[in-house]
Amino acid sequence: MEKTTKILIILPCFNEEQSIGNILGQLKTINVKDCELIALPVNDASTDNTLAEIKKQSTTYLDLPKNLGIGGAVQSGLKYAQENNFDIAVQMDGDGQHPPLELVKIITPILNNETDVCIGSRFIDKEGFQSSFLRRVGITFLSGLIKLRCGQTVLDCTSGYRAFNKKAIEACVKYYPKKYPEPESALYLIKKGIRVKEIPVIMDARDGGTSSISGFRSIYYMLKVSLAILRT
């Protein structure tokens, strides 16, 4: 009898009442052979009805008592995965940008032991939502900094659609950046000897809510993440 692979799908949510219920509903329809998929919404102290929408669809969730930011919410989910002996953890946005149907693409390289971390990339096949021109310029700049530091290219270094095996989960439980963590965590994992691979996925525009990186915050984001990459 083959062992069932336990997969935790971590959905960090801050004011995602418009989208999280639909995402959780879609995840219930996803079946992967010999795998058990469990969704874990992480309510990051939302001020809207996100928690109520989560409770309509799921009895398994984390409700953080204070806002920790995307990094803290994801790391909380990764700690849950480690403590409950999950084989794979998947990070998926709660705003609808990451179609659940693309989930199989993310986890397959890990199931096949091809990598420790698999990042879903918009920029390999360049299909689906590609983000704005200015954001793509910023992502290209951060990708260049990462390559400068570790020699590996990560095209979509800001992608929050990624999967981790047990080795990568353990590394992220020990350390995970708190704000805007995706580029810095990719570099951290590579420098720790964790295998990181990108695969092409199709992403959508967010269903609702507001991005935390807009206006002057985008300048702060670039400065903070650039400095974090340089000192990691």
Query: How much is the pLDDT for 66?
Result: 96
What are 137's two structure tokens?
A: 């310029």
Q: Smallest Cα–Cα separation from 64: which of 53, 55, 52, 77?
A: 77
Query: How much is the pLDDT for 226?
Result: 84
Assign residue 106 the CATH number of its domain.
3.90.550.10
Dist CA 144 CA 146 (whole Å):
5
> pLDDT means per 10 residues in the chain (232 residues)?
88 96 96 96 97 96 96 98 98 94 97 98 83 84 94 96 98 91 96 97 73 60 81 72
Query: How much is the pLDDT for 88?
Result: 98
The domain tally of the chain equals 1
Helix (H) or strand (E) holding 12: strand 5-13
Query: How much is the pLDDT for 229?
Result: 84
Query: How much is the pLDDT for 207?
Result: 55
Query: How much is the pLDDT for 3?
Result: 83
- Which domain, by its residues, includes 180? 5-231
- φ, ψ of residue 65 to 5 degrees: the values are -75, -20
